[in-house]
Amino acid sequence: MDISLEDIAVFKHLDLLAKRQVEGFITGLHKSPFHGFSVEFAEHRIYNPGESTRHIDWKVFAKTDRLYTKRYEEETNLRCYILLDASGSMYYPQENNLKIRFSAFATACLMQLFQKQRDAFALATFSDSIHFQSQLKSTQNHFNQLLSVLQVTVRTPSALHLSTSVSKAIHAISEQIGRRAMVMIFSDMFEQENIEDVFLALRHLKHQKHEVLVFHTIHRSTEFDFNFENRPYEFIDIETKEKINLHPLQVREQYQERMAQLMKTVYEKCAQYKIDLIECDVQQSVDQVLQAYLVKRKKMLI
- Res 211: pLDDT: 92
Half-sphere exposure of 14 (CA within 13 A, CB side): 26
Q: Give the DSSP H/E element, type plus range, for residue 203.
A: helix 195-207
- Res 301: pLDDT: 67
Which pLDDT tens digit goes with each residue over 289-298? Answer: 999 988 888 7
Distance of alpha carbon 195 from alpha carbon 199, whole angstroms? 7
- Res 253: pLDDT: 94
Beta strands in 97-228 (DSSP E): 120-126, 130-133, 182-187, 211-218
- Res 123: pLDDT: 97
Helix (H, G, I), strand (E, B) or coil at 215: strand
Domain regions of the chain by residue span: 36-72, 77-301
- Res 181: pLDDT: 92
Distance of alpha carbon 81 from alpha carbon 71, whole angstroms? 27
Residues of the chain with confidence (pLDDT) below 70? 1-12, 29-43, 71-76, 157-163, 191-193, 301-302
- Res 122: pLDDT: 96
Handedness of CA 19, 25, 28, 30 (dihedral sign): negative
What are the backbone angles phi and psi of residue 132, rounded to the nearest 5°?
Answer: -145, 140
- pTM (predicted TM-score): 0.79
- Res 197: pLDDT: 85
Q: How far separated are the first and last CA of the chain, in Å rounded? A: 29
CATH number, domain 77-301 = 3.40.50.410
Residues 6+ apart with CB under 8 A from 197: 167
Written as one string, the DSSP assignment of 227-243 is ---SS-EEEE-TTT--E
- Res 256: pLDDT: 94
Helix (H, G, I), strand (E, B) or coil at 245: strand
CA 46, 117, 58 angle in degrees (round to 5)? 25
